[in-house]
């Protein structure tokens, strides 16, 4: 037992320069943990509220006045009891009083304080049964941005390098190589245009969806040839963002459900996609099942906005066969305990988990420990920018610590 002595919160900036909540939890022993919460842009409608109506200032006021006092003296080692008090003190179904980001920051800071007291890395505090920190996630690396993360780019939100190797250093190297090759090719095709980068560090160019996918696919093939590492194309369509009045409205096509299912299934075939996130709208449980049937096990079909890391929504998806994978974002659902409930449900039902960042990130590395501690199939954390690199570099360190990994090159 180690009682919580203090919980303090304050505001810090995320990678988009917007304020978010950072929490520090100190135990009676003096051990402490600090964590900040990220924020999304293409948020699912079923996510908890990131902040109360009054934004970060109101979140800070409410935590200081009501939540922090309620947490004092609780046993930090009993994380589920701590997280339960966060929910009961908030008292709303979607954490709209204290804000999901406050809940995430406090929950993670509590787990980090326990890691500090035990003298172990965070992944060990979170470790699911049978996991010993030697199973490392594949890398879901965003190479080209569109949708809400890059104005002027393709409609599809993320063009991804999916790199899978038992050695995380090799997966990271392959995904980074694809990012570089995509940039080189864009520079070659558009020599007089200054290329930008989107919210997650992927390139931004005014090109169409299919042209972007072709370019990505060629870059993956080149990286495979050079490095002999399994790296293949993937997509996060974030389809809820361009689904209006029952149709999927791209700049160059307008599809009903059937058309969209056929379109994405054909992309999987033609480009050998291994990763397919949110191919349909966030309510399309049945449609997802059609996609999953069409794709089989050739690709991870991943529900993000569909499930919002909520175990009840995942249960609905499992009953219908909606997907073979679920995206895991702690602040979509609030606390680590809520997150682990969903992870454990996925594990018992044979659904792969993909631990994910948000488009507005903080330069923390706790996310990497969530991935390793929960045995995630993949870690989605972007490829460039200090806030993304913090997570990749932490994965390199964890790989080296177990002796299963090589060095950065
Ligand atoms: C997503 C995420 C992260 P956001 O859609 O998967 O890439 O974006 O954080 O904006 O929801
Ligand atoms: Mg997504």
- Mean pLDDT, the chain, rounded, equals 96
Annotation says 329 is catalytic: yes
How close is the Cα of 237 to the center of ligand 2, in Å? Answer: 7
Instruction: State whether 352 and 282 are in the same domain.
Output: yes
Residue 409 has pLDDT above 90, yes or no: no
Residue 185 domain-assigned?
Answer: yes
pTM of the predicted model as reported, rounded to 2 decimal places: 0.97
pLDDT given at position 14 = 98
**pLDDT score recorded for residue 100:** 98
Q: What is the mean pLDDT of residues 29-45?
A: 96
pLDDT at 212: 96
Residue ending a domain, among 92, 119, 146, is 119
Confirm whether 352 is domain-assigned: yes
**Residue 130, in any domain of the structure:** no
- Asked if the model's pLDDT at residue 355 lies above 90, the reply is yes
Q: Are residues 150 and 29 in the same domain?
A: no
Q: Residues 205-248: pLDDT tens digits?
A: 999 999 999 999 999 999 999 999 999 999 999 999 999 999 99
Q: Are residues 266 and 375 in the same domain?
A: yes
Residue 372 is part of a domain; what is its CATH number?
3.20.20.120
Residue 409: inside a domain, yes or no?
no
Count of structural domains within the chain:
2
Q: How confident is the model at residue 352 (pLDDT cuts 50, 70, 90)?
A: very high
Which CATH number fits the domain that encloses residue 112?
3.30.390.10
| Same domain, yes or no: 63 and 192 | no
Q: Identify the domain boundary among 62, 88, 119.
A: 119
CA of 359 to the centre of ligand 1 (A): 5
Q: Are residues 194 and 334 in the same domain?
A: yes
How close is the Cα of 102 to the center of ligand 2, in Å? 22
The verdict on whether 211 is a catalytic residue reads no
Is 104 part of a structural domain of the chain? yes
Residue 407: inside a domain: no
Ligand 1, atom nearest to 157 Cα: 5
Q: How far is the C-alpha of 180 from the C-alpha of 186, rounded, in Å?
A: 10
Residues 336, 253 share a domain: yes
Which residue, judged by its Cα, is nearest atom 4 of ligand 1? 40
* 330 and 204 fall within a common domain: yes
Are 279 and 227 contained in the same domain?
A: yes
Share of the chain above pLDDT 70, in %: 99
| Residue 403 binned pLDDT confidence (cut-offs 50, 70, 90) | confident
What range does the domain containing 175 cover? 138-401
pLDDT category of residue 149 using cuts at 50, 70 and 90 = confident
Are 103 and 222 part of one and the same domain?
no
* pLDDT at position 113: 98
Of 145-149, 303-307, 385-389, which gets the smallest average pLDDT? 145-149
The answer to the question of residue 172 being in a domain is yes
Regarding whether 210 and 318 lie in a shared domain, the answer is yes
91 & 165 share domain: no
pLDDT at 129 (0 to 100): 92
Same domain membership, residue 159 and residue 95 = no
Q: What is the CB < 6 Å shell around ligand 1?
A: 40-43, 158, 200, 236, 238, 304, 356-359
């Amino acid at each position: 037992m180690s009682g919580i002595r203090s919980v303090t919160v304050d505001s810090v900036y995320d990678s988009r320069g917007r304020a978010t909540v950072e929490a520090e939890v100190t135990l009676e022993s003096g051990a402490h943990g600090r964590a900040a919460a990220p924020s999304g842009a293409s948020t699912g409608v079923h996510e908890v509220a990131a902040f109360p109506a009054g934004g970060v200032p109101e979140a800070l006021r409410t935590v200081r006045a009501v939540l922090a006092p309620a947490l004092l003296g609780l046993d930090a080692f009993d994380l589920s009891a701590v997280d339960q008090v966060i929910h009961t003190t908030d008292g709303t179904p979607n954490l709209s009083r204290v804000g999901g980001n406050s809940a995430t920051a406090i929950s993670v800071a509590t787990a980090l304080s326990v890691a500090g007291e035990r003298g172990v890395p965070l992944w060990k505090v979170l470790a699911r049964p049978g996991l010993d920190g030697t199973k490392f996630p594949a890398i879901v690396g965003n190479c080209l941005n569109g949708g809400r993360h890059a104005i002027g780019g393709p409609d599809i939100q993320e063009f991804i390098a999916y790199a899978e190797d038992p050695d995380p250093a090799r997966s990271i190297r392959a995904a980074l190589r694809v990012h570089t090759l995509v940039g080189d090719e864009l520079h070659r095709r558009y020599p007089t245009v200054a290329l930008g980068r989107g919210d997650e560090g992927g390139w931004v160019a005014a090109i169409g969806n299919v042209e972007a996918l072709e370019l990505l696919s060629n870059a993956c093939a080149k990286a495979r040839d050079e490095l002999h590492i399994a790296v293949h194309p993937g997509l996060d369509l974030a389809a809820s963002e361009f689904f209006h009045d029952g149709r999927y409205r791209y700049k160059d096509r307008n599809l009903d459900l059937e058309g969209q299912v056929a379109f994405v299934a054909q992309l999987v075939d033609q480009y050998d996609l291994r990763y397919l996130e949110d191919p349909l709208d966030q309510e399309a449980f049945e449609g997802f099942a059609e996609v999953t049937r069409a794709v089989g096990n050739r690709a991870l079909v991943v529900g993000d906005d569909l499930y919002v890391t909520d175990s009840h929504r995942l249960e609905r998806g499992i009953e219908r066969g909606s997907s073979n994978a679920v995206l895991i974002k702690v602040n979509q659902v609030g606390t680590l305990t809520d997150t682990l409930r969903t992870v454990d449900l996925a594990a018992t039902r044979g659904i792969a988990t993909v631990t994910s960042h948000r488009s507005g990130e903080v330069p923390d590395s706790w996310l990497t420990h969530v991935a390793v501690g929960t045995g995630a199939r993949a870690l989605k954390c972007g490829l460039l920018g200090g806030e993304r690199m913090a997570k990749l570099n932490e994965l390199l360190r964890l790989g080296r610590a177990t002796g299963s990994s090589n060095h950065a090159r």
